[in-house]
Amino acid sequence: MSKPIQSKPIQSPQQPVSRIIKGTQTFWHDLFVSDVQTMKKNVSYKKVQPQIEHYEHKHTFHSHDRVGKPNKYTVPIGGHFHEIKVTTDENGKPKAVCGPALRKVQSKGKYGLQKTVIEPVTFEHPMRDGADAIETDTHTHLMEYKFSEELHPTTGAVPISDAPQVPHELRSEIKEI
């Protein structure tokens, strides 16, 4: 017969343990809105005959996404976006500096695989020669600081208190898929 294993009770450490508790992280989110500027957009269906139109527009920029990851670009409008650099002014207030218009383009990468590349917004005019053959949209915006807020990262799970409630009499009619 084997002897029963006797275990000693685990003693808690004498000094407090410093732990990071999940769900308690917070981050600061800053919102910026740009001024209205004119952008160039090719509205032609024919690649050899670009038809460039001018449209007024503006962008918003969130310094972080909802999970706390820092953003680098504005929200895309009209097929383009801008790179933003956030600093502080002499009063300690957040300040954003906007770069020229950019867009994402698919190109062939290594081994023929598709690769997404960020490049300046340019339009080729195949019927023109020299410096007139390529038109570039270099507009920028002045970014206005709106507000900051302290946020908690979201996990995608809906808290029970926010979940839609199904009346008890309808629960039998709900079928699982």
Cα distance between residue 135 and residue 101, in whole Å:
13
* pLDDT attached to residue 11: 56
Strand partners, 97: 85, 142
* pLDDT attached to residue 19: 58
Q: State the virtual CA torsion across 62, 63, 66, 69 in degrees, nearest 10.
A: 140
DSSP 130: G
Looking at residues 129-142, what average pLDDT do you find?
87
Each residue's pLDDT tens digit, 33-76: 999 999 999 999 987 788 999 999 999 999 998 888 899 999 99
Computed over every residue of the chain, the mean pLDDT equals 81
* pLDDT attached to residue 159: 55
* pLDDT higher than 70, residue 14: no
Each residue's pLDDT tens digit, 66-80: 888 899 999 999 999
Do strands 60-62 and 52-57 pair parallel, antiparallel, or not at all (unpaired)?
Answer: unpaired
Cβ-Cβ contacts under 8 Å for 42 (sequence gap 6 or more):
50, 51, 52, 53, 123
Looking at residues 85-96, what average pLDDT do you find?
91
DSSP string, 6-24: --PPPPPPSSPP--PPTT-
- Per domain, the residue ranges of the chain are 27-102+138-150
